[in-house]
Amino acid sequence: MSTPLIQTRQLTISFGAHKAVNNVSIEIEKDIFTTIIGPNGAGKTTLFNLISGLLRPTGGQVLFKGTDITHLSPLQRVALGMGRSFQLTNVFPALTVQENVRLALQAQARIGYRIFADHRKFRQLNEKTGLLLEQVLLQEKKNFLAASLTHGEQRKLELAMVLALDPEVLLLDEPTAGMALEEVPAMFELLDRTKKVTDKTIVLIEHKMDLVTGLSDQVIVLVNGSVLAQGSPPEVAANPAVLAAYLGGGVLSEACA
């Protein structure tokens, strides 16, 4: 078997007596669409913060393509090929939509230290920016300030920014969080398209299982900081432990029905 793209070994972080992530060992294979689900406070975002380097674990390891990256900074992990989005919208509010994406592309192009070049004169970047905006259906809003977009549009913008980094693995932290209900299907359509168009490994955090069963190849259920179940969507849905944990109208009720 090939080395998994991302692997965690007994990953643990405690805040005082509270173990937000407890002894989590997961493997994420290349080109697999993985969804991490779980109720509020299960430690999904904390797990992402540990994988992307925003938090340092109190125990255990994070491996990327077989090498230990537990002690690397977020910046070094981005350079290795990890791109992440955030649960709370995280864009550059007073810059235009176009500039937001262009900055993400510029980070890849490594022209950041050319202090006497004009940023508007890099045609390739501008063209790529246009393509990405088309991909997330924001072409018409390119000259709007990011702050003036609706919440759903900001989430799309974020997706475009992560895609711009051209990472090997996309860590998407609840891209539908806070979206209006009618905007949600469009987002998943977008993710579905992204999955087909690009050859990226995608790890998605989601709250509502029923929305992602069609997309996911693998589902990881996180409860109270620990992995409760792991497997293909039907396997997980049929798992007695998962059923027991969510019995009586839990997060998974719809998916299990």
Partner 1 sequence: MKTPAVIKLVTAGAKDRKQFVAGSAVALIAAAFLLMLPGFAGHATISLFSRIFILAVFGMSYDILRGFTGVINLGHAVFFGSGTYLAGILFLRLDPTPGTLLLAVIVTVVYCSAAAFIMGKIAFRGGGVIACAMITLALGEIVRHLAETWRDVTMGADGLTFPIPYMFRDRLLFYYYALLFLILMVIVLRRFVLSPTGRVLLAIRENEQRAIFLGYNTTTYKMISLQVGGISAGLSGVMFALLTRFANTELLTIQQTLNALLVTIVGGTGTLYGAIVGTAFVQLIQHYLLTLRDVHPVFTRWLLFFGSIYILVVLYMPAGIVGAYRQLADLLSSRNKKKIA
- Nearest approach in angstroms of CB 174 to partner 1 is 16
What residue type is 141 in one-letter code?
K
35: left (phi over 0), alpha (psi -120 to 50) or beta: beta
Name which position in 75, 181, 182, 240 contacts partner 1 (CB under 8 A): 75
Residue ranges in 190-249 that form contacts with partner 1 under rule CB under 8 A: none
Site string for partner 1, 9-48 (x = CB under 8 A): ----------------------------------------
- Using rule CB under 8 A, residue 99 touches partner 1: yes
Residue ranges in 169-198 that form contacts with partner 1 under rule CB under 8 A: none
Question: 217: which residues sit within 8 A by CB, 6+ positions away?
Answer: 32, 33, 34, 232
Name which position in 2, 40, 124, 143 contacts partner 1 (CB under 8 A): 143
Nearer to partner 1, 93 or 185 (CB): 93
Nearer to partner 1, 95 or 243 (CB): 95
- Using rule CB under 8 A, residue 139 touches partner 1: no
- Nearest approach in angstroms of CB 160 to partner 1 is 12
Name which position in 6, 69, 91, 190 contacts partner 1 (CB under 8 A): 91
Name which position in 56, 111, 151, 180 contacts partner 1 (CB under 8 A): 111
Number of Cβ atoms within 10 Å of the Cβ of 91? 20
- Sequential DSSP letters for 113-159: T-TTS-GGG-HHHHHHHHHHHHHTT-GGGTTSBGGGS-HHHHHHHHH
What residue type is 190 in one-letter code?
L
Name which position in 39, 74, 130, 231 contacts partner 1 (CB under 8 A): 74
- Using rule CB under 8 A, residue 147 touches partner 1: yes
Nearer to partner 1, 86 or 246 (CB): 86
Nearer to partner 1, 161 or 212 (CB): 161
Separation CA 137–CA 160 (nearest Å): 10
Tokens matching residue 80: 């290795």
Helix, strand, or coil (residue 230): strand
Tokens matching residue 180: 């209006």
- Using rule CB under 8 A, residue 94 touches partner 1: yes
- Using rule CB under 8 A, residue 90 touches partner 1: yes
230: β partners: 220
- The residues that touch partner 1, with contacts defined as CB under 8 A, are 52, 74-75, 78-79, 83-84, 86, 90-96, 98-99, 102-104, 106-108, 111-120, 122, 143-145, 147-148, 161, 165
